[in-house]
């Protein structure tokens, strides 16, 4: 039997979208860290020249640019592998979602326990033309972990319909 991920694959744009999102958060953390370093140097009333060698290197624009580019490239490579290992399927009465590169997580959701199935987009999804399919049960963690993100509109609606049809079969 053909897997759902093979019949309704994720879009190839997903790694780019996830890389941009993670890189945005990386930049925020970097800015906070730089402000902290700058303030710690300023509070000590020392100049950058008087600061230790490590602080000088970290505050160097050349280092920051090189480090940022390396982080960007490694994040994109990670997201490509994440897409490769991302899997989802419907079996008998269960939706199975597998994720992860270094640590693999498998989420099994019995269809008779699902309370919500919906398709949505965040801002970056709209920019990249991607859709997320969310399913959740009564457990708190299912809503956060059990979603399929990076689908096109047709595939997201098709999977939603398959799940809804299977839920209706369960209830009959």
Q: Which residue, of 82, 102, 120, is where some domain finishes?
A: 82
Cβ 134 vs Cβ 156: under 8 Å: no
Q: Which residue, of 82, 110, 135, is where some domain finishes?
A: 82
On whether both 100 and 165 belong to a single domain, the answer is yes
pLDDT at 171: 65
The answer as to whether 62 is a domain residue is yes
The answer as to whether 118 is a domain residue is yes
Cβ 130 vs Cβ 150: under 8 Å: yes
What DSSP assignment string belongs to 122-170? -HHHHHHT-EEEEEE-SSHHHHHH-EEEEE-HHHHHHHHHHHHHHHHHH
On whether both 130 and 149 belong to a single domain, the answer is yes
User: Looking at the 3D structure of the chain, how many domains does it have?
Assistant: 2
On whether both 77 and 95 belong to a single domain, the answer is no
Q: Which residue, of 33, 63, 82, is where some domain finishes?
A: 82
Q: In what order do the strands lie in the sheet with 105-110?
A: 87-91, 94-99, 105-110
pLDDT in tens, the chain (172 residues): 568 999 999 999 999 999 999 999 999 998 888 888 777 766 766 665 556 666 667 677 888 889 999 999 999 999 999 999 999 999 888 899 999 999 998 888 888 888 889 999 999 999 999 999 999 877 766 666 678 999 999 999 999 999 998 887 766 6
On whether both 57 and 105 belong to a single domain, the answer is no
Of 53, 84, 89, the C-alpha closest to 166 is 89
Domain of 143, in residue numbers: 88-171
On whether both 75 and 96 belong to a single domain, the answer is no
């Amino acid at each position: 039997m053909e897997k759902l991920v093979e019949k309704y694959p994720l879009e190839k744009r997903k790694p780019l979208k996830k890389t941009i999102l993670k890189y945005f958060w990386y930049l925020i953390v970097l800015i906070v860290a730089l402000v902290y370093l700058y303030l710690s140097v300023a509070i000590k009333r020392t100049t950058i020249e008087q600061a230790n060698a490590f602080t000088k290197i970290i505050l160097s624009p050349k280092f920051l640019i090189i480090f940022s580019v390396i982080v960007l490239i490694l994040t994109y490579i990670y997201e490509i592998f994440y897409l490769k290992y991302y899997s989802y399927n419907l079996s008998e009465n269960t939706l199975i979602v597998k994720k992860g590169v270094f640590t693999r997580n498998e989420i099994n959701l019995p269809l008779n326990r699902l309370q919500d199935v919906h398709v949505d987009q965040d801002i970056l999804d709209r920019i990249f033309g991607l859709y997320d399919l969310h399913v959740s049960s009564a457990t708190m963690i299912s809503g956060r972990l059990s979603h399929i993100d990076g689908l096109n509109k047709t595939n997201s609606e098709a999977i939603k319909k398959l799940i809804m049809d299977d839920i209706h079969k369960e209830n009959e």
